[in-house]
Amino acid sequence: MQDKTHSSYKQLEQKSKYTNLFLRWFLYFVLVIFALYFIFPLYVMVVTSLKTMEEIRQGTLLTWPSGLNFDSWLVAWGGRGYGAGDTFLKPYFWNSIKMVVPAVFFSTFIGAMAGYVLTKWRFKGDKWVFLFLLFGCFIPYQAILLPMARTLGVLGISNSVIGLVLVHTVYGIPFTTLFFRNFYVSIPSELVKAARIDGAGFFKIFFKILLPVSTPIIVVTIIWQFTQIWNDFLFGSTFSFGEAAPIQVALNNMVLSSTSVKEYNVDMASAIIAGIPTLIVYVLAGKYFIRGLTSGAVKG
Amino acid sequence: MLKWLEKNLPKIVMAPAVGLIGWFVYGFVLWTLYISFTNSKILPKYELWGVGQYVKLWGSRKWLIAVDNLLIFTALFLIFCVVIGIILAIFLDQKIRAEGVLRTIYLYPMALSFIVTGTAWKWILNPTLGIQKMFIDWGFENFTFDWLVNREMAIYTIVIAGVWQSAGFVMALFLAGLRSVEDEIVKAAKIDGANLFTVYWKILLPMMRPVFFTSFVILVHISIKSYDLIVALTQGGPGISTTMPALYMTQTAFHKSQVGLSAASAMMMFMAVAAVIIPYLYSELRRENAR
């Protein structure tokens, strides 16, 4: 099959060898130009973070740094060691970790349960319940920002990591439900039916039959939720400030804080630090990342 | 009792999800809708005031600028993302060497937050030490590139950064779409003498209608909600020239303490999203039912 396609391509290629050669080169040329466009900001970020301010002023964006100088990284991560006005990322990085881990866990768990019920324990009107949940993927969060701020205030968890865990858990549920529901729909219900006849209960069926085959969708869901929550800025900046802020908010504050001299090298080091966890996940598990993206991409 | 519990266990397990979404999504949207009809300032008031906030909103110069910017941004963002996405997908589909590496490069911006993206582009586009200086140092002495601080042009810097972030994603959608087409169709067309261009233009791209539709919905959705990127890149400036609805909403609520007005702007955004999403959900549902 593969070979046949290949040979027919070959015949066609021989017909107009030169135009094809030209087209091939053109193809690679365009692809490489775009690759450069996409890689350019990352390159600039990395080299800028390794330069001193003196080098930055003398060279251009593309100039190679004179050496591997990680001073800006240390300043971005741990500060300069003096008191007031010294913002650095370390505490906020941990805030983000403390926020991401429970929020990913709870939203994934609730979504898995909901997806399981919606596909294997179907009830009258379950389609409507799914649609009801699904709509939550699409709402612009501006429409819930004001009441959420009030609610967090009433609960006494505004400006805290716990508050952000709650927010991210709740607004993650529509996505996690969508993922698990679409995955479990493709698993034959006969297995579940047989187990039910054998007297297996609700949880036993989940843990013995569905959970063991769920690894791929769990990975997709965790990666999706992790990326979304780690990268969130709207909720972080609206519901927290000062010490409870997650890393994206801290990064933005650091970059915007108007000290006398703008230190672009520290800014770039900070941006890389804030972006590294999700980049690592992307590089290590790109396949799952893309799967989540194409099926849950409704979020902005 | 135990029997009842056993029988209703699935519904009980389902309850947290339904309850949380019911309260935090539907309840909250209704609350915002209600508040948009009141004259709330710092604190919400519950006496109805009519459509005054909407009248005020559409009479506000800043909101009109925000809507204008949204239209410009959405149009350009859509066009560039889709065109670049399709070109990359089609080119990558030609049995390219190192396809995996190229794909990874095109898509990695999606893993970054808009704040990181905005920070990077802000540095690249800054007129003193960024691209402008690069070209001047290369000998183009009169080269100017000051869009970031130019009222007329600043909105386009947001387009540049936004397209950079999202074009790879459209590429991924189209590549998946193209790969799902049967080889036979392409082969048959080629044997009939169609060249590659015709195959794509006349056969494959028309088959990608659902992918166009999905990309359209998602990109419009992203652009209506865009907030982080503007905060990181321009903060709505210079002046208010790059304000967008999402930024208008939070500024009105949390800096100007005009809760009623900001609720009205939030509801306008909600309606804009609903106008795009509801037909989409409807068609998706129909497709699923048809299966």
Residues A150 and A235 occupy one common structural domain:
yes
Distances (CA, A) of A223 to A163, A170, A228, A282: 22, 17, 8, 9
Of the candidates A139, A271, A282, the beta carbon closest to that of B111 is on A282
Task: Summarize pLDDT for A233-285 with one digit per residue, the tens.
Answer: 999 999 987 888 999 999 998 888 756 567 888 889 999 999 999 999 998 88
In a domain, A173, yes or no: yes
Residues A65 and A99 occupy one common structural domain:
no
What lies within 8 Å, CB to CB, of B84 at 6+ separation is A34, B163, B167, B170, B171
In a domain, B10, yes or no: no
Residues A187 and A256 occupy one common structural domain:
yes
CB B18 to CB A131 under 8 A?
no
| Residue reference for tokens 């006398």 | A260
| Residue reference for tokens 């000290």 | A259
In a domain, B11, yes or no: no
Residues of B in contact with A30 (CB under 8 A): 87, 91
Task: Summarize pLDDT for B202-256 with one digit per residue, the tens.
Answer: 888 888 888 888 889 889 988 998 899 999 998 887 888 899 999 999 999 888 8
Residues A10 and A143 occupy one common structural domain:
no
Residues A142 and A291 occupy one common structural domain:
yes
Any idea of the CA torsion for B208, B210, B215, B218, to the nearest 10 degrees?
Answer: -170
User: Burial of A268 by CB count in 10 Å (0-12 exposed, 13-18 middle, 19+ buried)?
Assistant: buried
Residues A65 and A94 occupy one common structural domain:
no
Residues A270 and A149 occupy one common structural domain:
yes
pLDDT given at position A1: 43
Helix A286-296 vs helix B154-179: angle between axes, to the nearest 10 degrees?
100
In a domain, B156, yes or no: yes
Chain B residue with minimum CA distance to A249: B115
In a domain, B165, yes or no: yes
In a domain, B44, yes or no: no
pLDDT in tens, chain B (291 residues): 778 887 888 888 899 999 999 999 999 999 999 999 988 888 778 888 888 889 989 999 999 999 999 999 999 999 999 999 999 999 998 888 888 899 999 999 999 999 999 999 999 998 888 888 888 888 787 777 888 888 888 999 999 999 999 999 999 999 988 888 888 888 888 788 777 788 888 888 888 888 888 889 889 988 998 899 999 998 887 888 899 999 999 999 888 888 999 999 999 999 999 998 888 888 877 776 665
Residues of B in contact with A224 (CB under 8 A): none
CB A231 to CB B113 under 8 A?
yes
Kindly report the backbone phi and psi dihedral angles of residue B151, in degrees, each rounded to the nearest multiple of 5, phi listed first. Answer: -50, -40
In a domain, B23, yes or no: no
In a domain, A81, yes or no: no
- Give me the residues paired with residue B38 across strands: B48
How much is the ipTM here?
0.89
Structural contact between residues A41 and B124, judged by C-beta atoms closer than 8 angstroms: yes
In a domain, B6, yes or no: no
Structural contact between residues B42 and A153, judged by C-beta atoms closer than 8 angstroms: no
- Domain count of the fold of chain B: 1
| Residue reference for tokens 């800006």 | A72
Output the domain CATH number for residue A169.
1.10.3720.10
List the domain range (segments joined by +) for residue B99.
53-290
In a domain, A79, yes or no: no
| Residue reference for tokens 């208010």 | B240
Residues A121 and A248 occupy one common structural domain:
yes
In a domain, A192, yes or no: yes
Residues A29 and A174 occupy one common structural domain:
no
In a domain, A249, yes or no: yes
Residues of A in contact with B285 (CB under 8 A): 131
Q: How sure is the predictor about A15, in pLDDT bands with cuts at 50, 70 and 90?
A: low
- Domain count of the fold of chain A: 2
Interface probe with A: pick from B25, B63, B178, B214, most Cβ of A within 10 Å: B25
Q: What is the mean pLDDT of chain B?
A: 88
Chain B residue with minimum CA distance to A224: B111
In a domain, A191, yes or no: yes
| Residue reference for tokens 């979504």 | A111
Residues A179 and A262 occupy one common structural domain:
yes
CB A42 to CB B110 under 8 A?
no
List the domain range (segments joined by +) for residue A31.
2-69
Q: What percent of chain B has pLDDT over 90?
A: 43
- Give me the residues paired with residue B48 across strands: B38
CB A142 to CB B250 under 8 A?
yes
In a domain, A83, yes or no: no
The type of residue at B23 is W
Output the domain CATH number for residue B224.
1.10.3720.10
Structural contact between residues B165 and B112, judged by C-beta atoms closer than 8 angstroms: yes
Q: What is the pTM of this model?
A: 0.89
Of the candidates A31, A61, A237, the beta carbon closest to that of B91 is on A31
Task: Please name the residue ranges forming H helices in chain A.
Answer: 2-15, 17-49, 53-58, 71-78, 90-120, 126-134, 142-155, 161-184, 189-197, 202-205, 215-231, 234-239, 247-256, 264-284, 286-296
Q: Is the pLDDT of residue A297 over 60?
A: no
In a domain, B206, yes or no: yes
Residues A139 and A21 occupy one common structural domain:
no
Residues A282 and A150 occupy one common structural domain:
yes
CB B94 to CB A271 under 8 A?
no
CB A110 to CB B16 under 8 A?
yes
